[in-house]
């Protein structure tokens, strides 16, 4: 059977310098093993599969796979999947607001003039990282006490730990370990120098099934968690722009804004670069 797919560039500032996503459309006939096999074969950070919604409020349902496991939620797969769904002719039921169903629940996505933005989901874990976990994170990043300003849980599906450094230069200078004996999902952020086209620099690191460390080019879920933490702490003041991917020769931009009701929205540009069919 053949399944259509799109390759989407997400959070890009210039083409081919965002975070790539493969979106498999009309995947209702595909089983878990086939989804995981495709995600493993492509070896992108995530691959998504679009299905008919199970909940009446949703426009479509998405399943999100890394090369090793399924995620309940992730940011760039949310925007890229929504983009592919609309490119395939999807029409939202509620004006300019799309409702995505995923394992984490219902996620609202808004259409802007030239980008999409998702409503940052509530944190599933927050608060300071302390004790042995703090030391593990510091050792992984090569930091000594006093090198970081704060360290907090910002989990919203992925179990992100956020680390605030003094500035963007310190973020870019990090040389983390290439292997980790413990599963890690770590995001680092620091303020940019004045005159930059963004307010913060972000980097994201996670370990694979073999303990190898991967740096993600541009990460929506992490930026959503960081925005909630830093806005609550008075460190960040939306609207603002976060840059990510510079250490990977990428040029990602994440746009954070705050609605009148206090809801944070995480936005970015999306664009289909290729399409085709998987023949299984």
Gyration radius of the chain's alpha carbons = 18
Closest by CA position to 109, among listed 89, 66, 88, 80? 80
CATH class of 125-257: alpha beta
Q: Are 73 and 157 in contact (CB under 8 A)?
A: yes
The pLDDT of residue 113 = 83
How far apart (Å, rounded) are the C-alpha atoms in residues 33 and 11? 29
Angle between helices 220-232 and 75-87 (to 10 degrees): 120
Q: What is the CATH number of domain 2-120+267-279?
A: 3.10.310.10
Q: Along the 280 residues of the chain, how does pLDDT read in single tens digits?
A: 899 999 999 999 998 999 999 999 999 999 999 999 999 999 999 999 999 999 999 999 999 999 999 999 999 999 999 999 999 999 999 888 999 999 999 999 999 888 999 999 999 999 999 999 999 999 999 999 999 999 999 999 999 999 999 999 999 999 999 999 989 999 999 999 999 999 999 999 999 878 899 999 999 999 999 999 999 999 999 999 999 999 999 999 999 999 999 999 999 999 999 999 999 8
Whether omega before 239 lies within 30 degrees of 0, making that bond cis, reads: yes
3-class secondary structure, 203: strand
CA distances to 55, 78, 115, 149 from 103, rounded to whole Å, are 12, 12, 24, 33
The pLDDT of residue 270 = 98
The model's pLDDT over 5-42, given as tens digits with 9 standing for 90+, comes to 999 999 999 989 999 999 999 999 999 999 999 999 99
> CB under 8 Å to 220, separation ≥6 — which residues?
10, 11, 74, 75, 76, 77, 78, 79, 118, 254, 266, 268
- Spell out a b/e string for 51-74, using b for 16 or more CB atoms within 10 Å of the CB, else e: bebeeeebbbbbbbbbbeeebbbb
Closest by CA position to 252, among listed 83, 122, 127, 80? 80
The pLDDT of residue 16 = 94
- In this structure, what token pair is assigned to residue 40? 């493993």
Where along the chain do the CATH 3.10.310.10 domains lie? Answer: 2-120+267-279, 125-257
What are the catalytic residues? 46
Q: Where are the strands (E) in 79-199, listed by range?
A: 97-102, 105-111, 116-119, 125-128, 150-155, 161-164, 185-191
How far apart (Å, rounded) are the C-alpha atoms in residues 68 and 44? 11
């Amino acid at each position: 059977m053949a399944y259509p797919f799109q390759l989407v560039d997400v959070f890009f500032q210039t083409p081919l310098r965002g975070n790539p996503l493969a979106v498999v459309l009309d995947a209702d006939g595909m089983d878990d093993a086939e989804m995981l096999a495709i995600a493993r074969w492509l070896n992108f950070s995530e691959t998504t599969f679009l299905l008919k919604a199970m909940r009446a409020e949703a426009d479509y349902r998405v399943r999100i796979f890394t090369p090793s496991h399924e995620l309940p939620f992730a940011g760039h797969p949310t925007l890229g999947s929504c983009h592919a769904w609309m490119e395939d002719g999807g029409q939202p039921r509620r004006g300019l607001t799309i409702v995505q169903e995923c394992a984490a629940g219902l996620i609202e996505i808004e259409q802007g003039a030239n980008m999409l933005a998702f409503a940052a989901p509530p944190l599933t874990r927050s608060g300071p990282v302390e004790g042995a976990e703090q030391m593990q994170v510091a050792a992984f990043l090569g930091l000594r006490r006093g090198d970081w300003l704060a360290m907090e849980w910002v989990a919203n599906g992925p179990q992100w730990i956020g680390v605030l450094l003094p500035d963007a230069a310190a973020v870019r200078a990090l040389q983390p370990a290439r292997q980790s004996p413990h599963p890690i999902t770590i995001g680092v952020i620091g303020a940019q120098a004045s005159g930059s086209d963004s307010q913060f620099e972000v980097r994201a690191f996670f370990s694979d099934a073999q303990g190898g460390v991967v740096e993600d080019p541009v990460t929506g879920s992490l930026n959503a968690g960081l925005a909630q933490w830093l806005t609550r702490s008075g460190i960040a003041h939306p609207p603002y722009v976060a840059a990510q991917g510079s250490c990977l020769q990428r040029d990602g931009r994440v746009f954070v804004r705050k609605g009148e009701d206090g809801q944070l929205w995480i936005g970015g540009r999306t664009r289909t670069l290729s399409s085709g069919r998987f023949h299984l």
